[in-house]
Structure 1
Amino acid sequence: MYAASVKRGLKDMSYEYLDVKGDMGFVARGRSIEDLFKAAALAMYNAMVDISKVKRSVSKEVEVSASDLDILLHHWLQELLFITDTEGIVFSSFDVEICKDDEFRAKGRAYGEKLNPELHEIRTAIKAVTYHNLELRTEDDGWRATVILDV
């Protein structure tokens, strides 16, 4: 498993990897729900490749909906992973807006480039985002999510 104790902090968001037997997990935090979704996506992609080496030469629109925020986070990450699996693009930056009409909706853009093994060392191959122990909640300083990835 890739660096279970790594913690990355950004201005309004952070993530740290968890030691999960047979799988990989992380805790992501954000001041806003949008920051949380960005932090979770960054955590997932930094587990795959060194995102500091991924340029923003391609962008993809991503839109998902769900009845609950935790399921919306799952769908957001799974849709990003689907794009990576089908189009061979890895991402290093994200914009997202969350709104609620009849359902919660996440609409945003992911920025990255085609995966190139000569430039992007593969750290971990992620098969899927799981529902196992998926948790999203508010805290005093914002939002927190726990996500387990099938590797």
Structure 2
Amino acid sequence: MSFELREHTADVAVEAVGESLDAVFGAVADGMAAAMCDEIPTDGDERFDFSVTAEGREALLFDYLDELIYERDVRVVLPVDNEATVSAPSSDDGPNEWVLSGSARGVPLERVEARDLKAVTYSEMDLSETDDGWHAYVVFDV
């Protein structure tokens, strides 16, 4: 999994690839952290878990990143080393929801010089399967 930060008018975008849907979600989240902070400490800090549900893959990616921004604001941490497990809706008559179980290492904001990202956007969002896995492109409002 990997990501690159992309210039986008007054905003910033993250382009990511991964061998699986799980990997590309984690890569986009790590890219979002890199957009907020140039140097991320690699030591210590506690992990936290959370889950997100949505009616589609793109909505799940949006809600996942939005949840990380929320966790940043509530916990006063920078979510890094992101891990995501994405589950597609079941084929039975149950709820038609995508589910993400995630975790992140929370670096206290007092330990880093972080830039503010206001929000994730649907502008130009792409989440597509490729011959090599998955591709994602997400624009963030700064």
Higher RCO, Cα 8 Å, sep 6+? 2
**2:120 alignment partner, one of 123, 129, 139:** 129
The answer to whether structure 1 residue 52 and structure 2 residue 46 are counterparts is: no
1:49-90 Cα deviation digits (max 9, x unpaired): 135315442222121111111110110010001010122111
State the alpha-carbon separation in 2 of the partners of residues 51 and 137 from structure 1.
Answer: 30
Q: Percent identity?
A: 31
- The amino acid that maps onto 1:21 is T
Seen in structure 2, the aligned counterparts of structure 1 residues 51 and 33 have a Cα distance that, compared at 3 Å, is farther
Other-structure match for 1:89: 77
State the alpha-carbon separation in 2 of the partners of residues 81 and 55 from structure 1.
Answer: 21
TM-score (norm 2): 0.89
Other-structure match for 1:23: 11
1:88-130 Cα deviation digits (max 9, x unpaired): 11122122211123211001211122111xx3122x3100001
1:45 and 1:92 in contact (8 A); partners too: yes
Q: Secondary structure at the match of 1:52?
A: coil
Equivalenced residue count is 136
State the alpha-carbon separation in 2 of the partners of residues 51 and 60 from structure 1.
Answer: 21
- The amino acid that maps onto 2:108 is K
Q: Secondary structure at the match of 2:117?
A: coil
- The amino acid that maps onto 1:79 is E
Other-structure match for 2:59: 71
What 5-or-longer segments of structure 2 have no aligned partner?
Answer: 90-95
Q: Deviating runs (4+, > 3 A) in structure 1? A: none
RMSD over aligned Cα, in angstroms? Answer: 1.4
1:132 and 1:148 in contact (8 A); partners too: yes
The answer to whether structure 1 residue 99 and structure 2 residue 99 are counterparts is: no
2:41 and 2:107 in contact (8 A); partners too: no
- The amino acid that maps onto 1:138 is E
Q: Secondary structure at the match of 1:64?
A: strand
TM-score (norm 1): 0.84
Other-structure match for 1:109: 103
Seen in structure 2, the aligned counterparts of structure 1 residues 129 and 54 have a Cα distance that, compared at 3 Å, is farther
Other-structure match for 1:4: none
Q: Secondary structure at the match of 1:19?
A: strand
What 5-or-longer segments of structure 1 have no aligned partner?
Answer: 1-12
